[in-house]
Amino acid sequence: MLSYRHAFHAGNHADVLKHFVVTQLIQHLCQKDAPFWYIDTHAGAGRYALDSGYASKLKEYQGGIGRLWQRDDLPAPLAAYVDLVRRMNPDGELRNYPGSPWIAHALLREQDHLKLFELHSSDSQLLGQQFRSAGRRVQVQPVDGYGGLKALLPPAPRRALVLIDPAYEDKQEYRKVVEVLQDALHRFATGTYALWYPQLARHEARQLPEKLKALPLRNWLHVSLSIASADGGATSMPGTPGTTGTPGMIGSGMFIINPPWTLAATLEEVMPCLVALLGQDATAGYRLEQGETKPGATQPPTA
Ligand code: SAM
């Protein structure tokens, strides 16, 4: 039984980090004419109203995109992501927020395909409605995204970005994502994979990056954004503007396998700005690390 609805959290600090990184990954893939697939194993509803419904209850976006929305001094790569959000709000009021499928669809070209999986019946319906007239380039499937991913790999064009963005409602999910990535790398080693995870006190969340680094990876990059101390995050009230929103979540991370070689430098430029704008207290900060397996090495070195 799925109880998580992403609408409650749309546009929060974690969405900002995730969607900024996804924008970067897609823009890089678009630099070559060759087609690619965008595969979203946990697609959500695709877009979210911020001024009504679930998002308006907790108002988490006020501590996320709301803090970037009106700035005209953002680093160019971050401004490109904010411009996508502005495209969805042409009258200048922040009323709508794009989910990962909407962002991908806005950036992909005619030759590229979107493969979207969403298991929650209400959200998969909303997602399907959104792309009803998008043609055969966009496939929405109301099935388990892990099984769906397995069936798609290796992708026909031999180029793909896979976003794995679970809600981690069950602690088994931390083990599951590692197993799924291991299998996916076996089927399609050269794909770009981006996994989102929450920073929580729970053991499984803290251990996840190390478990991922132990996979047979050639190149990886790990970035995390902490917006508050564990104390502040654990006690913040959901929905109180200016707090972390989700109880206990003090930030989030993205683990990227086979990242573009330019991404680390872009993140070095942008992350201090995200810390300054989204940080809730003096403990806010970011971490960026990467690794590359040298020929003949059995394990990736940690940076
Ligand atoms: N990727 C979306 C975005 O960035 O806009 C947000 C996704 S949200 C964090 C996670 C979604 O995964 C929820 O909508 C949930 O219903 C869905 N979900 C949970 N388990 C799933 C599964 N096994 N397969 C596909 N979707 C699943």
For the chain, helix, strand, coil in percent to 5 are 40, 20, 40
* ipTM tops the 0.95 cut: yes
282 CA distance to ligand 1 centroid (A)? 32
Task: Tell me which residues are annotated as active site.
Answer: 165
H or E element in which residue 96 lies: strand 96-98
List the residue whose alpha carbon is closest to atom 17 of ligand 1: 42
pLDDT per residue of the chain (303 residues) written in tens, 0 to 9 = 788 888 899 999 999 999 999 999 999 999 999 999 999 999 999 999 999 888 788 889 999 999 999 999 999 999 999 999 999 999 999 999 999 999 999 999 999 999 999 999 999 999 999 999 999 999 999 999 999 999 999 999 999 999 999 999 999 999 999 999 999 999 999 999 999 999 999 999 999 999 999 999 999 999 999 999 876 543 333 333 334 456 789 999 999 999 999 999 999 999 999 999 999 999 999 999 999 976 555 554 444
Are 238 and 205 a contacting pair, CB within 8 Å? Answer: no
List the residue whose alpha carbon is closest to atom 7 of ligand 1: 44
163 CA distance to ligand 1 centroid (A)? 10
- Give Cα separations from 171 to 85, 135, 198 (angstroms): 32, 37, 12
List the residue whose alpha carbon is closest to atom 14 of ligand 1: 44
Q: Name the residue ranges covered by the structural domains of the chain.
A: 6-219
5 CA distance to ligand 1 centroid (A)? 8
The rounded distance, in Å, linking the Cα atoms of 28 and 221 is 15
> Could you tell me which residues are annotated as the binding site?
19, 42, 100, 118, 144-145, 165
> Terminus-to-terminus CA distance in the chain, angstroms?
39
The CATH code for residues 6-219 is 3.40.50.150
Angle at CA 183, nearest 5°, toward 182 and 189?
75
Which residues form ligand 1's pocket by a CB distance below 6 Å? 2, 4, 6, 18, 40-44, 99-100, 117-120, 123, 144-146, 165-167
pTM of the model: 0.93
